[in-house]
Amino acid sequence: MQYRQLGRTGLNVSVLSFGASSLGDAFRVTNDQDAIRTVHVALDLGINFIDVSPYYGNTKAESVLGRALKDVARNRYLLTTKVGQYGDAHFDFSAARVTKSLDESCARLGVDYIDLLQCHDIEFADLNQIVEETLPALARLRDAGRIGHIGITGLPLKIFPAVLDRTAPSLVETILSFCRYELNDTSLSSLIPYCQKKGVGIINAAPTGMGLLTERSVPLWHPAPKLLIETSRKAVDYCKSVGADIVKLAVQFCVAHPGISTTLVSSANPSNIRKNV
């Protein structure tokens, strides 16, 4: 496993990291024992960065991950979870809610400290609230030693500079972008020099486009337009016809970029996480 610095956080993260959304049945109904074993395999293979959220599976992902980490030494992994999103169309970025959310997540995860706490999908929030209320609340948690670092996540790239340009240096230390640096969409690359100048670490997620670049069909909730789904299917079929593994290509493409600290892959299947590594 290779490791890179996550911006100016001082965290040294594996270039391939573990996204725990699958533990919450995000893509299919999973077996908890398989999911727990997948986490252990990931750690044994050198993955040291784990991302989760109370939103995934309506807190199920955090609960299953907590069981998986129960007997794992805390210094073997870096843990990030999120605040602000708690269900479909259920968002609350108030200072009181995000503070309480940290307590709830720590209880489910069986820890008393989160290495990185992120505001989840801020495009659905009032960015004024994020800047003026949510982030100051997270800063207080960081000052109190409850969390190590602060990040923001979302799909539209414009939201990142919209927040970073309005906050003090080093307040927001990471961004998590998904479906914006993969074989079919490299738009995140335009933001990398900006983040590097600010010392903001980049977490890339969904190297297969949340299932677009896999042999399985995409979930019904997938936001991609019909044409993109159909075109991605042609790419999958082509790779299969010439004996190439499109998932392998997709993962290799993402981790090869030196400006991206880590790329999240999500699975609840031990053999799949082994293949990804």
Give ∠ CA 255-261-265 in degrees, rounded to 5: 55
111: left (phi over 0), alpha (psi -120 to 50) or beta: beta
User: In sequence order, what are the beta bridge partners of 82?
Assistant: 118
- At 94-148, the pLDDT tens digits run 999 999 999 999 999 999 999 999 999 999 999 999 999 999 999 999 999 999 9
Residue type, 276: N
Please name the residue that has the structure tokens 């259920």.
90
Q: How far apart are CA 34 and CA 40, in angstroms?
A: 10
Q: For residues 201 and 151, give the distance between their C-alpha atoms in angstroms, rounded to a whole number.
A: 9
Distance of alpha carbon 77 from alpha carbon 203, whole angstroms: 16
Beta strand extents in the chain (DSSP E only): 3-5, 12-14, 16-19, 49-51, 78-83, 85-87, 90-91, 114-119, 147-154, 174-178, 201-205, 262-266
Query: What span, in angstroms and rounded, lies between the C-alpha atoms of 143 and 265?
Result: 31
**Catalytic residue numbers, as ranges:** 56
The alpha-carbon radius of gyration of the chain (Å, integer) is: 18
The full DSSP string for 14-63 is ESEEEEGGGGGTSSS---HHHHHHHHHHHHHTT--EEE--TTTTTTHHHH
CA gap 243, 231 in Å, rounded: 19
pLDDT value of residue 218: 83
Identify residue 103 by its one-letter amino acid code.
D
Query: 3-class SS at 261?
Result: coil
Which residues in the chain show pLDDT less than 70?
26
To the nearest whole number, what is the mean pLDDT of the chain? 95
Helices 226-241 and 246-255, packing angle to 10 deg: 110
